[in-house]
Structure 1
Amino acid sequence: MHQPATQPRPSIFYRYRVHPFRRPPEMDGAATEVPVTVVGAGPIGLLTALTLARLGCRCVLLESELQVSQGSRAIVLTRRSQEILHTAGVIAPFLAKGLPWTHGRSFYRGREVYRMEMPHDPDDRFLPGLNIQQQYIEEYLVAAIAAEPLIDLRWGSKVVGLAQDAAGATLRVDTPEGEYELRTGWVVAADGGRSAIRRLLGLRMEGRAYAGSFVIADIRADLGLPTERLCFFDPDWNPGNNVLVHREPDGIWRLDFRLPDGETAEAALEPRRLAERIDAILAMVGRPVPWEMDWAAVYSASTLTLPDYVVGRTCFVGDAAHLLPIFGVRGANTGFQDADALAWRLALVARGLAPSSLLRSYSGERVGAAREICEEAGRSTRFMTPPSEGFRLMRDAVLSFTLSEAFCKDLLHWRTSRPHTYADSPLNSEDGGFEGGVTPGAPLKDVRLGEDEHLYDHLGRGFQLIAFAGPQGPDAALEAVLRAAAEARLPVARLLVSPRPLPGRAERVVLDPEGRIAARYAAGPGAAYLARPDTHVCARWRRATPEGLHAALARACGEG
């Protein structure tokens, strides 16, 4: 019988809440079946369930523990992750708590050798990075789910069995009151790097696991440093290795440092040895101040992915699908893009609005993205933790050159997580002969419309049609396209961009008197963009037609 911990996890800054186990109806003989069951209530599982519900799909969310995860873990949300949370309608508490930042600095043997500026456009609502502990990420998503009637979040529910057939899957769930079976149409495996679902299906990842190990330590200290990424190569106290320092909310600081080769996790976490190393880090940054330990763990870097993210009736997201190094903040941010790409497809399939073959495009897009990320992250990992004496010699040579030469400093760029462009997606339709703008496969670009107003604020749920009117309003051809969108069998949010007010319109009208939106999208009067529910463009036309819109919608739903 599953017995999760019932005492709040220890923390010097975060107050853990223990959620009660609620006996599900299946344990009392109710023969229920749910369209989707999400396994794992970490950030990726929570976001997947929330997005499914926002698109009208009922789901059960199973979590083996009774409280959110321990430790800060994923602490940096990229701009793309913030945009995803914004379109999900939950960004406000993240911005209120998190610490935004734009740049980082790298040091070699005590000298600053590189300053990295993360790209930021004045039209972007969000800064490139937002530091916030994973406990808060999960807490805010759990709060949003509590207000969502289409989600049944079941704490203390551990999946111990899985059987699939052509019509769905049967999960065997262990709880504090015994086991029960849950019948579901689809399973989403969001149960992390040690995925029980992956193990139950006998699946293995492909790629490489690196030998170097790192300690993550969260401490509370008054360092008085700004919010930026600090990286120290070859410090005196840890020769040949490196240290990362990040500021977190609530006066917490994340310290990451590489262990000497051959040192075990048990030895690294021995309290006296760990304290000596933390003291050395604080002295290195010029802040030898008192501190308190909150949490520490040891991890190693991997670049691994499943070759297929859809196996029978099970779809994989996040660390259950791939294991990526933290360098470049790729883990949770890649998982957020998984959730965003899967949820809208699965909602359409589960509701009978699209064929199940639509899910093949999810696997193709995200496996391709993971493999690209593994290649990029592998370069970063080989620099941070050289896998051989040859790699170490090359890395040390680059670092030594940074003391006197400028040509090699960009090699210290950490290749941060980025939004993926699905340029070769089978869901894309014609490109329409544009010069510039947003290409099919790329996410919509935001545009600042006022002090606190952006284009993304006006997006609706479901597919997005952004149509561009001239000074006299939409002509007859564009009116026909707007009517076709309103009458489509799938929800299409219609956004009409106009240089002047157009009162009485059924669509949402966004004013563009200076033509800034039109310029960013390289769009003239009569042009239109169609974006998927995850805001990735799937078609665009210089002169849109109802026939083209219907064909693009069908293709984007896997029917083309």
Structure 2
Amino acid sequence: MHQPDTTPRRSIYYDYRVHPAWTPPSLGSPPARVVVVGAGPIGMALALDLARHGLPVLLLEAQQQVSEGSRAIVFTRRSMEILQQVGADRAITAAGLPWRSGNSFFRGQRVFRMEAPHDDNDRFHPMINLQQQYLEEALLDQIAAQPLIELRWGQKVTRILRNDDGVGVRLEVDTPGGLYEQDAEWVVACDGARSELRQMCGLRMEGASYEGRFVIADIRVDLPLPTERLAFFDPPWNPGNTVLMHREPHGIWRIDYQLPPGETPEQALAPESLKARIDAQLAMIGHAGAPWEMDWCSVYSARAMTLPDYRHQRLLFCGDAAHMLPIFGVRGANTGWQDAHDLGWKLAFVLKGLSGPALLDSYSHERVAAAREIIDEASKSTRFMTPPSRGFRLLRDAVLSLSLSQPFVGPLFHWRTSRPHDYADSPLNSHDDDDALFGAGPRDGAPMPNVRLGPDQHLMDHFGAAFWLMHFHRDGAVPQALQAEARRWRERGVPLQIVAVRSGGAAADGADVLIDDRDGRVHGRYGVRQSGSCYLLRPDQHVCARWLSLDARRLERALCRATAR
């Protein structure tokens, strides 16, 4: 019988709450349309995304508390745009620490500084720091207010009894109150890097596992330093290795330091070892003797691996259950949310009968390609942070030495931070649109760029769980033929909204949303120079077609392709 820990976890800044375990009724659990296994940041975001598309979701979590320790702490602008869609952004921005700069140091000298792009059109900062517990709490608040989501705590999936494309999935679930069986049309594994569902299916990841180990230590200490990423290469107290530091809310600092070869996690986490190394790091940055208190610590290894396919019959994989990525460059949770945002609308369309299961093949196509792209980038960062061989170490040390006098090597310290992925080769993109004729703006497959429309109003604020046809015009109405085509798709059940982006003074008849763009900010950012140009955006805000001029037939072809009809 599954018995999760019901003792509140210890923390010097966060009050853990134990949630009551769900007990199976004597008649068993009714079938579910979709079951999400794992109520971490990715599983909760996916459940909320499915619910905003009108789908009931059963969310199973083996534990009875939110995660222990800071874990994922850096969230990118694209992640915040996704979290805005599920209503969690305001709580995170209110509690988090925004930042945009990173510094790399060698022998007491700053050898590289990077500033992430940020301009007046962006609602969110490039990065924001917040401990994972608070982020999960923000998502839990949204789930509590969402009647379509049932969250069951203390539910451990122990077996997959059936996984049949024609019938669905049957899970065996263990709880403190006993075993039960749960049927579902589809199951999504969001159960993390050690995914038991992945192991039950006998699926293996492709990629590399690096030898270098790092300690994560969350300490409370008063340091008069800005909220920036700090990286220290080859420090005197940890020769040949790397140390990272991040400020967190509530007076907490995160220190990640690399271990020498052969040291075990048990040795690394011994209190005397932790104290000696943290004291040495504080002394190195000029704060010797500063009093500090440990909150949480752990050991991790860098891995760059992915499943080759994220769909296994009626079981789908998302987040760390689908891939394991080095944390350098804040890739873990930030990549997982892009998985969830891609999967959410597609699974909803399949469950509603608006598309066939082939639409889910595009999820795997897009996100496996994204993971492999990240792995390629992350591997470069990881080889620099933790050289895997003597040759790589010689190259890294040469760069370090040159960096003291030669600024041109500075960019080699770039950690290639997580970024929005561009589905340029997506099978959902139109192949006969005018993409190649645009001189600027987001191309097919790219995420939509945000635009400031007012003091607290942005373009993305108007885009929800639907396809969106942006019609740019100087004046007049949206053409009747486009209005009629949009109605036909709505009658089939496909959510499609028309956004009129108006540069003139006349009203825009036939639009669901009107954007007044007299100053031309939206036109400029989307590379639109002529009236009648259009963009078609997917429910996850990625462009799937754009035209200099559009007729109903071209719109129909684009929507058929985008819904895998």
TM-score by length of 1: 0.97
Determine the C-alpha separation between the residues in 2 that align with 1:438 and 1:480: 27
Determine the C-alpha separation between the residues in 1 that align with 2:482 and 2:533: 8
Alpha carbons 2:23, 2:176 under 8 Å: kept: no
- Number of the residue aligned with 1:511: 516
* AA at the equivalent of 1:204: R
- Number of the residue aligned with 2:444: 440
Q: 2:555 aligns with which of 549, 555, 559?
A: 549
Q: Is 1:66 matched with 2:64?
A: yes
- Number of the residue aligned with 1:412: 413
- Number of the residue aligned with 1:212: 212
Structure 2, unaligned runs of 5 or more: none
Q: 1:534 aligns with which of 537, 540, 544?
A: 540
* AA at the equivalent of 2:163: Q
Alpha carbons 1:422, 1:441 under 8 Å: kept: yes
- Number of the residue aligned with 1:402: 403
Deviation at 1:180, TM superposition (A): 0.2
Alpha carbons 2:468, 2:536 under 8 Å: kept: yes
- Number of the residue aligned with 1:263: 263
- Three-state SS of the structure 1 residue aligned to 2:217 is strand
Determine the C-alpha separation between the residues in 1 that align with 2:422 and 2:399: 31
**1:501–1:132 CA distance, 2 compared to 1 (3 A):** farther
- Three-state SS of the structure 2 residue aligned to 1:497 is strand
Determine the C-alpha separation between the residues in 1 that align with 2:562 and 2:472: 21
Determine the C-alpha separation between the residues in 1 that align with 2:532 and 2:508: 19
Deviation at 1:488, TM superposition (A): 5.6
- Number of the residue aligned with 1:285: 285
- Number of the residue aligned with 2:384: 383
- Number of the residue aligned with 2:141: 143
Stretch moving more, 461-470 or 174-183: 461-470
- Three-state SS of the structure 2 residue aligned to 1:160 is strand
- Number of the residue aligned with 1:37: 35
Alpha carbons 1:468, 1:474 under 8 Å: kept: no
* AA at the equivalent of 1:329: V
Structure 1, unaligned runs of 5 or more: none
| Pairs within 5 Å for 1:233-382 | 233-288=233-288, 289-382=290-383
Deviation at 1:121, TM superposition (A): 2.9
Q: Is 1:502 matched with 2:504?
A: no
Stretch moving more, 460-469 or 174-183: 460-469
Q: Deviations over 1:503-535 (max 9, x none)?
A: 876511111011111121122321211111110
Which runs of structure 1 show a deviation greater than 4 angstroms over 4 or more consecutive aligned residues? 475-488, 503-506
Q: 1:470 aligns with which of 474, 478, 484?
A: 474
Deviation at 1:545, TM superposition (A): 1.8
Alpha carbons 2:472, 2:500 under 8 Å: kept: yes
Determine the C-alpha separation between the residues in 2 that align with 1:58 and 1:485: 23
- Number of the residue aligned with 2:456: 452
Q: Is 1:127 matched with 2:132?
A: no
Q: Deviations over 1:483-504 (max 9, x none)?
A: 5565563011221111236287
Deviation at 1:481, TM superposition (A): 5.6
Number of residue pairs the alignment of both structures matches: 557
Deviation at 1:469, TM superposition (A): 2.1
Determine the C-alpha separation between the residues in 2 that align with 1:15 and 1:225: 26
Determine the C-alpha separation between the residues in 2 that align with 1:503 and 1:440: 26
Determine the C-alpha separation between the residues in 2 that align with 1:483 and 1:511: 24
* AA at the equivalent of 2:66: V
Alpha carbons 2:502, 2:508 under 8 Å: kept: no
Deviation at 1:472, TM superposition (A): 3.7
* AA at the equivalent of 2:226: P
Q: 2:496 aligns with which of 481, 492, 510?
A: 492
**1:84–1:397 CA distance, 2 compared to 1 (3 A):** same
Alpha carbons 1:475, 1:526 under 8 Å: kept: no
Alpha carbons 2:217, 2:254 under 8 Å: kept: yes
TM-score by length of 2: 0.96
- Number of the residue aligned with 2:88: 90
What CA RMSD, in Å, does the superposition of the two structures yield over aligned residues? 1.5
Alpha carbons 2:219, 2:252 under 8 Å: kept: yes
Determine the C-alpha separation between the residues in 1 that align with 2:63 and 2:563: 36
Deviation at 1:550, TM superposition (A): 2.1
